[in-house]
């Protein structure tokens, strides 16, 4: 806005500039909201990351066990599926049966 003794002019932005400015403001507010809602759980003093209880792979079935289970259910398995995908497909098939 330009102010002088007698003339007051308002500057009008081009539509694409206005849109870009709105998107920037929206992203900035979303980033601030994410920062405010962020939860940080620091590790207790004296413990290393390896000592904290993490889910072990021993509790998860092996790939061969999952393939046997899928065969027993009658599920057609794609060789490109990861273990997580295969496990979720087996669980979904078990729920529907």
Contact 69, 90 (CB under 8 A): yes
- pLDDT at residue 27, rounded to an integer: 97
Contact 61, 69 (CB under 8 A): yes
Tally of helices (H runs) and strands (E runs) in the chain: 3, 2
**What's this model's pTM, rounded to 2 decimal places?**
0.41
User: With bands split at pLDDT 50, 70 and 90, how would you rate the model's confidence at 9?
Assistant: confident
């Amino acid at each position: 806005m330009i102010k002088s003794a007698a003339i007051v002019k308002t500057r009008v932005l081009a539509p694409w500039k206005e849109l870009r400015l709105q998107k920037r403001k929206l992203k900035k507010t979303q980033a601030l909201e994410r920062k405010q809602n962020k939860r940080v759980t620091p590790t207790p003093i004296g413990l290393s990351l390896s000592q904290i209880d993490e889910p072990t792979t021993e509790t998860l079935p092996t790939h061969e066990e999952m393939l046997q289970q899928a065969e027993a259910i009658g599920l057609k398995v794609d060789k490109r599926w990861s273990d997580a995908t295969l496990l979720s497909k087996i669980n979904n098939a078990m729920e529907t049966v």
